[in-house]
């Protein structure tokens, strides 16, 4: 049982999204949220408070009577509109986990019964149906409004769910005032990419060994000369992977390797740095009350603000996607080397001897298609802007689009790594090296033993699919890095 005490981690969000944990909120947190609810109710009797005693957006100058008990439900119904394909259940659970964690930091001033409603949704897997298009980066209003309507019973849940009583203005806007879906998607993408980034180093090492790479580029002297963060982390990791017992002692094939081998530590370090920076921003957003308005419980006052504006998160999401776009061509360079008879010591495309055999030719094309998708997704979402609600929101960060683009880039990056893995394993087998290493390299080759050994031309779709099934386990062979 995961007990939320006002501080949650990305790992907690992923565990709840994967249904590996049940969740509850500590009594202390429930009491603190209840206290904040009472303070907010009292302040609402004597102060103008956005979304409680006024309309929202361009209607913010319109007063709403405290006697209007239907106002909260009207807000939820009007804001719940979305469109497009339904989001998958894992993504929805991630959003619910993030919103529950955020609400454990008192500041929204909403009814504490909503915490137990979210607990039940997650624990019973009774989920709202949410769709793709709605959010812009200043709050995931529609997905959260739709979630509220599901909790209340106006929309069906995926499993039976006891409906809550209708909500008032004390809870409607405060519940919606969050980027929980964007943060949840970012948490899931980060979790996957962290494993893929480590898997990349193992697969690079297989290619390095298969191509007799020159280790000088991985030395501490070369690392210092790069004058960039995390290069030492990547190079140390690679030297540890290469320090395998029983591996053949071979001379480098070249005095200076092509970029695919030589600059990997520098290029991959950009991805690692971006992942750590994104992790820090997601953790901050996950554990901060950002609702507008925000109730300052200690001083018993209300603050209207713009802290919900996800500029930093938007830039971090874009930066991670751009880092993948930078390092992806370096991976493709190694795939070309594996296919080139000038560097692989065998036939072009590691093909069979039969004249005209294509071997791994089309694997290189698949890799190029994946890179095209990564580059397309790397167009910064944060560079866009839009004016909404009659000018009340004159700039949207589009952080939500940045999260979606990172998801696309991550999926394509998986394909790219699969293509390199298939080629590196075939070349090691061609050279009779696939059973000569221990340590993490040997473990990776043992996992890859499921890949077919034949080199005659055939449909390689299955090879890539098998390689894809190995990536997460290969990533787990490398310990998580400690930030420098």
CB contact at 8 A, 451 and 174? no
Report pLDDT digits (tens) over 104-134: 999 999 999 999 999 999 999 999 999 998 8
43 contacts: CB under 8 Å, gap ≥ 6: 49, 295, 300, 301, 302
CA–CA distance from 350 to each of 146, 206, 369, 422 (Å)? 54, 16, 20, 11
> Both tokens of residue 451?
């890949």
> Both tokens of residue 114?
């909503």
Instruction: Outline which parts of the chain fall under CATH 1.20.200.10.
Output: 186-477
CB contact at 8 A, 79 and 174? no
Q: How many CB atoms lie within 10 A of CB 304?
A: 12
385: left (phi over 0), alpha (psi -120 to 50) or beta: beta
pLDDT of residue 213: 96
The CATH class given to the 186-477 domain equals: mainly alpha
Once rounded to an integer, what is the mean pLDDT over residues 154-173?
A: 97
pLDDT of residue 358: 96
14-18, 51-55, 328-332, 471-475: range with lowest mean pLDDT: 51-55
pLDDT of residue 280: 97
Report pLDDT digits (tens) over 5-38: 999 999 999 999 999 999 999 999 999 999 999 9
Is 2-177 assigned to CATH 3.10.129.10?
A: no
Q: How many CB atoms lie within 10 A of CB 170?
A: 20
- Work out the pLDDT band at 58, boundaries 50, 70, 90: confident
311-320, 391-400, 463-472: range with lowest mean pLDDT: 391-400
Q: Is the pTM of this model over 0.85?
A: yes
> Both tokens of residue 483?
């930030």
Once rounded to an integer, what is the mean pLDDT over residues 54-65?
A: 84
Instruction: Outline which parts of the chain fall under CATH 1.10.275.10.
Output: 2-177
pLDDT of residue 134: 81
- Work out the pLDDT band at 398, boundaries 50, 70, 90: confident
Q: Is the dihedral of CA 409, 411, 417, 419 positive or negative?
A: negative
Report pLDDT digits (tens) over 205-220: 999 999 999 999 999 9
Greater confidence (368 vs 243) lies with 368
């Amino acid at each position: 049982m995961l007990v939320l005490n006002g501080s949650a981690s990305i790992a907690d969000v992923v565990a709840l999204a994967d249904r590996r944990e049940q969740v509850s909120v500590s009594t202390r947190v429930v009491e603190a949220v209840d206290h904040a609810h009472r303070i907010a109710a009292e302040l609402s009797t004597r102060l103008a408070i956005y979304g409680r005693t006024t309309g929202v957006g361009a209607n913010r100058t319109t007063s709403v009577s405290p006697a209007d008990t239907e106002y909260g439900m009207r807000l939820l119904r009007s804001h719940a509109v979305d469109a497009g394909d339904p989001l998958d259940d894992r993504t929805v659970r991630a959003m619910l986990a993030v919103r529950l964690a955020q609400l454990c930091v008192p500041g929204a001033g909403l009814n504490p019964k909503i915490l137990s409603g979210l607990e039940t949704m997650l624990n019973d897997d009774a989920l709202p149906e949410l769709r793709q298009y709605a959010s812009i980066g200043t709050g995931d209003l529609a997905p959260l409004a739709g979630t509220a309507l599901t909790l209340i019973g106006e929309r069906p849940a995926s499993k039976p769910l006891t409906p809550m009583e209708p909500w008032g203005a004390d809870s409607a806007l405060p519940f919606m005032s969050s980027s929980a879906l964007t943060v949840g998607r970012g948490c899931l993408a980060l979790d996957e990419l962290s494993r893929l980034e480590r898997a990349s180093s193992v697969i690079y090492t297989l290619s390095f060994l298969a191509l007799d790479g020159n280790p000088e580029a991985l030395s501490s002297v070369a690392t210092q000369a790069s004058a960039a963060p995390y290069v030492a982390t990547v190079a140390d990791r690679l030297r540890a992977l290469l320090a395998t017992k029983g591996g053949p002692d071979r001379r480098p094939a070249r005095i200076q390797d092509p970029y695919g081998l030589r600059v990997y530590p520098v290029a991959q370090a950009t991805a690692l740095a971006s992942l750590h920076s994104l992790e820090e921003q997601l953790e901050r957003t996950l554990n901060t009350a950002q609702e507008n308005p925000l109730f300052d419980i200690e001083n018993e006052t209300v603050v209207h603000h713009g802290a919900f504006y996800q500029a930093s998160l938007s830039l971090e999401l874009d930066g991670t996607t751009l880092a993948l776009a930078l390092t992806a061509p370096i991976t493709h360079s190694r795939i070309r080397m594996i296919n080139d008879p000038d560097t692989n010591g065998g036939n072009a495309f590691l093909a069979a001897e039969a004249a005209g055999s294509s071997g791994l030719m089309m694997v290189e094309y698949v890799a190029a298609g994946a890179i095209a998708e990564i580059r397309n997704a790397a167009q910064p979402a944060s560079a866009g802007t839009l004016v909404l609600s009659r000018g009340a929101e004159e700039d949207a960060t589009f952080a939500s689009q940045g999260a979606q683009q990172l998801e696309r880039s991550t999926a394509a990056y998986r394909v790219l790594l699969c293509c390199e893995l298939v080629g590196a394993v075939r070349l090691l087998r061609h050279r009779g090296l696939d059973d000569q290493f221990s340590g993490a390299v040997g473990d990776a080759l043992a996992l890859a033993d499921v890949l077919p050994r034949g080199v005659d031309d055939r449909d390689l779709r299955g090879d890539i699919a098998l390689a894809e099934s190995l990536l997460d386990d290969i990533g787990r062979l490398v310990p998580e890095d400690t930030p420098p």
